[in-house]
């Protein structure tokens, strides 16, 4: 196999290969003859190449990588016309949706600089994000509806590593981020595939207990938080491996520590404060404070990035309502690492979180058979975005509320009760 790009000596090649193998065998469970669409930053090409190798070894039909580049992204903000920020490649995302209709699997590699657009005009960033969100919606609906097997993994890009470990030299920062990714993704074990089977079994026990409780709501209490999240009618908890509508059982997120379900879009009331910063499209949004009334955010503030937050909330009507609620113990391995990854794939697995926007159709009993209209009638939210942010810590208590009003402790001081 040729390697025209230099491979970073800071990244263990054996563990990187294991990550690629886990992404294909556990994350996607790619089937013989199935096509695969990969998106990734150019910096992640060493991982992409190993993903392609393992995909073809698994019998993939056709593997199609799409690469993005940070310098190309910045060139638009430096030299693009003002009108260009209201446009997106609709034709490309329609092609993605058509591929998913043909049972093409989806794999996304994250690893860009989380602060890439922090110095750019906030209005242009918001407009570009909105245009992309709207254009991507046909493809997002296939992902949110769990029509096909999909997966997200991470590569320790140098620009990302410098943001996470600003006091280290680049090589040291990349090594530290790589090792953190490998540990969180369970590829630092002798048999990572077996480790994932064991982890999936543990998450399945949690979801089985929650589904047996049939809570109508969750109540959160703690510093800056007094929030009741009503759960959708006929909701179903999931975590770890799940079966997509195409019949393939996969792990959409690697890593993952969460169990999650769908809130009722009209039954969220109270106030809540974020416990970790949200890195969104190159902007850091910190100290988020919002108030919900009848499911909708009616007041929103942030200590940093408030303008960007409010532009996100105005993308569409569903952006001010919840599409996901997830439970993660404070003692999760990612939380215990003490690292703020500035990447939602990791940071959401360090704390309980909620997501603004689109709900997951699979988080309903018989969700695969429900129409969009039925999902909406049961309380599922619709939006062109799905943005997770963290509200859990070792100071948060959560009670499950039954339909008769009685309560069951679910979390105490950030841990399963």
Q: What integer pLDDT is reported at residue 5 of this predicted model?
A: 42
Whether 231 contacts 218, CB under 8 Å? yes
State whether residue 398 is helix, strand or coil: strand
Q: What integer pLDDT is reported at residue 2 of this predicted model?
A: 37
State whether residue 57 is helix, strand or coil: helix
Q: What integer pLDDT is reported at residue 126 of this predicted model?
A: 86
292-330 confidence digits (pLDDT tens)? 999 999 999 999 989 889 999 999 999 999 999 999 999
Q: What integer pLDDT is reported at residue 122 of this predicted model?
A: 83
At 6, the pLDDT band (50, 70, 90 cuts) reads very low
Q: Which two tokens stand for residue 17?
A: 């290969």
State whether residue 412 is helix, strand or coil: strand
Instruction: Tell me the H-state helices in 120-235.
Output: 122-144, 158-164, 170-184, 192-213
Q: What integer pLDDT is reported at residue 3 of this predicted model?
A: 39
80-105 confidence digits (pLDDT tens)? 999 999 999 999 999 999 999 999 99
pLDDT at position 271 over 50: yes
**Interacting residues of 24 by C-beta distance below 8 A, sequence separation 6+:** 30, 51, 54, 55, 58
Q: What integer pLDDT is reported at residue 284 of this predicted model?
A: 84
- What does the domain layout of the chain look like in residue ranges? 13-184, 202-243+252-416
pTM score of the predicted model? 0.87
What stretch of H or E contains 322? strand 322-327
The CATH code that applies to domain 13-184 is 3.40.1830.10
C-beta atoms surrounding 201 within 10 Å = 11
Q: How many CA atoms lie within 13 A of 416 on its CB side?
A: 16
102-154 confidence digits (pLDDT tens)? 999 999 999 999 989 888 998 898 899 889 989 999 999 999 889 999 999 99
At 4, the pLDDT band (50, 70, 90 cuts) reads very low
Instruction: Report the interhelical angle of 45-57 vs 13-22 (nearest 10°).
Output: 50
The mean predicted confidence, pLDDT, of the chain is 94
Q: Which two tokens stand for residue 155?
A: 């590569």
At 1, the pLDDT band (50, 70, 90 cuts) reads very low
State whether residue 232 is helix, strand or coil: coil
Whether 391 contacts 220, CB under 8 Å? yes
Distance separating alpha carbons of residues 81 and 270, to the nearest angstrom? 42
Q: Tell me how long the chain is.
A: 417
State whether residue 143 is helix, strand or coil: helix
């Amino acid at each position: 196999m040729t390697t025209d790009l230099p491979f970073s000596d800071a990244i263990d090649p054996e563990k990187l290969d294991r990550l690629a193998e886990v992404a294909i065998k556990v994350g996607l469970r790619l089937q013989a003859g199935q096509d695969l669409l990969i998106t990734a930053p150019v910096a992640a090409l060493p991982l992409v190449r190993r993903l392609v190798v393992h995909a073809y070894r698994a019998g993939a039909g056709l593997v199609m990588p799409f690469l993005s580049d940070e310098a190309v992204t910045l060139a638009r903000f430096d030299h693009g016309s003002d009108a260009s920020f209201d446009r997106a490649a609709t034709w490309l995302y329609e092609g993605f949706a058509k591929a998913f209709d043909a049972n093409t699997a989806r794999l996304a590699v994250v690893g860009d600089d989380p602060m890439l657009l922090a110095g750019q005009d906030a209005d242009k960033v918001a407009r570009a994000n909105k245009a992309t969100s709207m254009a991507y919606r046909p493809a997002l609906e296939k992902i949110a509806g769990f029509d096909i097997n999909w997966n997200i993994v991470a590569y320790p890009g140098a620009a990302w590593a410098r943001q996470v470990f600003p006091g280290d030299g680049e090589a040291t920062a990349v090594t530290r981020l790589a090792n953190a990714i490998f540990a969180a993704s369970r590829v630092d074990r002798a048999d990572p595939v077996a480790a994932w089977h064991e982890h999936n079994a543990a998450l399945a026990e949690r979801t089985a207990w929650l589904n047996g409780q049939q809570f109508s709501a969750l109540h959160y209490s703690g510093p800056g938080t007094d929030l009741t999240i009503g759960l959708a009618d006929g909701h179903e908890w999931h975590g770890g491996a799940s079966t997509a509508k195409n019949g393939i059982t996969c792990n959409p997120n690697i890593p993952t520590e969460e169990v999650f379900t769908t809130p009722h879009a009209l039954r969220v009331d109270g106030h809540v404060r974020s416990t970790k910063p949200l890195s969104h499209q190159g902007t850091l949004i910190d100290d988020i404070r919002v108030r919900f009334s009848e499911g909708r955010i009616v007041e929103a503030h942030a200590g940093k990035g408030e303008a960007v937050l409010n532009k996100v909330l105005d993308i569409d009507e569903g952006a001010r309502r919840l599409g996901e609620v997830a439970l993660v113990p404070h003692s999760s391995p990612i939380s215990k690492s003490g690292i703020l990854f500035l990447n939602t794939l990791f940071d959401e697995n360090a704390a309980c979180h909620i997501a603004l926007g689109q709900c997951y159709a699979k988080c309903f009993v018989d969700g695969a058979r429900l129409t969009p209209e039925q999902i909406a009638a049961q309380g599922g939210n619709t939006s062109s975005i799905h943005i997770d942010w963290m509200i859990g810590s070792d100071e948060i208590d959560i009670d499950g509320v039954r339909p008769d009003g009685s309560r069951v402790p679910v979390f105490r001081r950030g841990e399963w009760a």
